[in-house]
Amino acid sequence: MKRRIAQYAGVLMLSSLAACSSWLEPGARSIAGEYQLATVDGKALPCCAVPDSATGATTTTLSGTLALGDAAPEAFVETPAGMYPGSCVHEVPSGTTVTSSAIPRCGDGDFTLTLVQRTQSPDGAIVTANVVYTGRYAWSDKDSLIKLVDVPMLGSVSPRSGGSQLEIQRVNVEGQYGETYGFAQVP
């Protein structure tokens, strides 16, 4: 009986390792793929009638997708503005003037983030629109981070069986702000 349990345990362990091997094998790690927006601030969609203090309109997120192209994982580094991909951080001698054309591109992969949002103005008019962001992204398997460089958004990467999950939020030098978007990878 003990031998049979040990055999089943061995088969179960090998099955588990095979299922996770694409995440564990060096060089095979990737978070590329299609992701479906699942939550905004931890709440199911449609979600969060966010008021605009200037106009009085409210915006509700109805759905969304995030498409990530291939990108190798890279190290993130601590900066005064928070964690950034190493490819985005460069040391410049004091007194040096740097033009935008001299700044190297950072992030290794392309992304497209699409949010379907409904805006209702105070007079009752409703407009539904696709809000599309594109640009470069970087991610770290060591720190479990993702940075949408051109938006800018920063968040976490959680590898799971059946696909990764991502949580991203807008960031600036003062910290995080705005909604947190939770995405689940489409199998």
Which token pair is 58? 């409210």
Are both 145 and 78 inside the same structural domain? yes
Partners of 35 in the beta sheet? 66, 185
1 plus 35 within the same structural domain: no
Together in a domain, 107 and 20: no
Lowest mean pLDDT across 15-19, 28-32, 150-154, 158-162: 15-19
Count the neighbouring beta carbons within 10 Å of the beta carbon of residue 95.
Answer: 5
Kindly state whether residues 1 and 52 are assigned to the same domain: no
Out of 84-98, 105-119, 123-137, least confident range: 84-98
Strands 165-172 and 153-158: what pairing? antiparallel
Least Cα distance to 115 among 33, 39, 32, 30 occurs for 39
pTM: 0.77
Q: Are 38 and 21 part of one and the same domain? A: no
| Residue 47: CATH number of its domain | 2.40.128
18 and 61 assigned to the same domain: no
Asked if residue 11 has pLDDT above 90, the reply is: no
pLDDT in tens, 127-152: 999 999 999 999 999 889 999 988 88
Residues 12 and 66 in one domain: no
- Judge whether 55 and 121 are in contact, CB under 8 Å: yes
Q: What does the DSSP assignment read for 51-106?
A: E-TTT--EEEEEEEEEEE-------EEEETTEEEEGGG-----TT----GGGSPP-
* Number of domains within the chain: 2
**Residue 82 pLDDT grade (very low, low, confident, very high; cuts 50, 70, 90):** confident
Whether residues 15 and 80 fall in one domain: no
Find the domain containing 35 and state its range: 31-92+101-185
